[in-house]
Amino acid sequence: MGKQSTKKYHKLSLQKYTRKGILKMAGVQPLPEVLPGFEHINRYWDKNMKVPAAKIMPGEFYVSRSGEMIVTVLGSCISACIRDVQLGVGGMNHFMLPQQGNHSTENWGDGVSSASRYGNWAMEYLINEILKLGGTRRNLEIKVFGGGNVLSNMTDIGERNIDFVRKYVYQENFEIQAQDVGDIYPRKVLYFPDTGAVKIRKLRETTNDTLLQRENSYSRKLNNKPDSSGDVELFS
């Protein structure tokens, strides 16, 4: 074997056993750099879709501009998938309204309920993050999912979440471009902010109650948490 061949073989051998080389052989690509403030989100390489992915849990939101897929599983909760159609910057939230107190979403001025303020927070932090990255209101595309009747001890929570997000979008002079809400089944949502594509799978035969436990736990935390978030103003 000549010197050139030996060097080439040695180089390939070194590459093979580096972390990047091992991931490459397994078909796994390195994850894009995460935006500041989202370091706590669970990010991974999705082997089935062959894309970098971020999975959000109840009470979280995530924004990307790097061709990532955002994943969540919804029961009674709502997810809004929002992006700037020109920039391909977008994200997803995952929230429900608290149960306690006055749940009316009819008033949006001084009489707004604490539950509605929490919904405002979930929507406006997501929108503001997109606007801070260069997005503009007129270019925002909004799609809404979830609100299923899956929690037996809270029969109307899904409907209230749907009612809230629809009224919020209307009051803020946006439009809902697509939606899949209500029904009795949990949903797995895969969202691609760069293209706006969404894949939905209704979980008609779930064999465990992890989702129900997670949403019940989230609901209890909301109901026991004092309303200290204040108001959030949308950037122009």
Q: Distance of alpha carbon 86 from its chain centroid, rounded?
A: 20
pLDDT for residue 143: 98
**Do the beta carbons of residue 175 and residue 194 sit within 8 Å?**
no
Least confident segment among 35-44, 63-72, 107-116: 107-116
**Do the beta carbons of residue 129 and residue 65 sit within 8 Å?**
no
Higher pLDDT, 20 or 166: 166
Domain boundaries, the chain: 1-30, 32-224
pTM: 0.76
Q: Which residues of 15-25 are buried (b: 16+ CB within 10 A; e: fewer)?
A: eeeeeeeeeee
Q: What are the CA-CA distances from residue 217 to residues 53, 167, 192, 195 (Å)?
A: 25, 26, 28, 33
**Do the beta carbons of residue 136 and residue 90 sit within 8 Å?**
no
pLDDT for residue 204: 72
Higher pLDDT, 157 or 49: 49
Arithmetic mean of pLDDT, 131-152:
92
Kindly report, residue by residue over 163-205, the tens digit of the pLDDT. 999 999 999 999 999 999 999 889 999 999 999 999 999 887 6
d(CA 45, CA 67): 12
CATH class of 32-224: alpha beta
Number of H helices, E strands in the chain: 5, 10
pLDDT for residue 96: 85
Tell me: pLDDT of 54 over 50: yes
